[in-house]
Amino acid sequence: MMPDYNYLAKTIASLTDGETDVVSLMATVTCEVHHSDDRFHWTGFYRNVGHETLKIGPYQGGHGCLVIPFSRGVCGAAARTGQVQIVADVEAFPGHIACSSSTRSELVLPVWNESGNLLGVFDIDSDLPDAFNEQDADALMRILAATFSDAKAESGG
């Protein structure tokens, strides 16, 4: 069953109204999205820290990988191409990085601010195969765009 994405969008908008700090926004989005659907077993952000490198940001679930280069894995592909990645079977994805052995499918969405800077990627893993679809991706991209439009890019990247 799908989460009520309209309700989720309104909740996140209400909680983040006026906030521009990237990490605060990431933490709030992660919490609300993670608890909105039983398919979501690991939910979190990998931050763009420059030099084509992603580093772990706020997340919910078991431990995540600490560093992911743009050149590897599903998160790297989303950061490198700027395209949403919907992976029905992570074992079939070339170069998949197994941060958790229980993950079967993955949805990764690139996250930009209003200036077009890549802030990072939003990663959702599921222990179920083929757990994600275009409806999930579209709804979450709208939420991310609305939430991070005014976010200030972190310095030093």
> Which is more confidently placed, 151 or 20?
20
40-78 pLDDT, tens digit per residue, is 999 999 999 999 999 999 999 998 899 999 999 999 999
User: Which has more confidence, 149 or 132?
Assistant: 132
Separation between Cα atoms, residue 154 and residue 25, nearest integer Å: 12
**Do residues 34 and 60 touch, judged by C-beta distance below 8 A?**
yes
pLDDT at residue 143 greater than cutoff 60: yes
Angle at 81 between CA 155 and CA 50, to 5 degrees: 20
Rounded percentage of the chain residues whose pLDDT exceeds 70: 96
Domain ranges of the chain: 5-9+20-129
Q: How far apart are CA 74 and CA 53, in angstroms?
A: 13
Please give the C-alpha separations between residue 147 and each of 17, 56, 112, 113, 117, in angstroms, as whole numbers.
9, 19, 10, 9, 14
pLDDT of res. 75: 96
pLDDT higher than threshold 80 for residue 149: yes
Give residue 155's pLDDT band: very low, low, confident or very high (50, 70, 90). Answer: very low
Does residue 12 have a pLDDT over 60? yes
Separation CA 34–CA 37 (nearest Å): 7
pLDDT band for position 147 (cuts 50, 70, 90): very high
Fold of 5-9+20-129: Beta-Lactamase (3.30.450)
Beta-carbon contacts of 121 under 8 Å, excluding residues fewer than 6 positions away, are 45, 46, 48, 54, 75, 78, 79, 108, 109, 110, 111
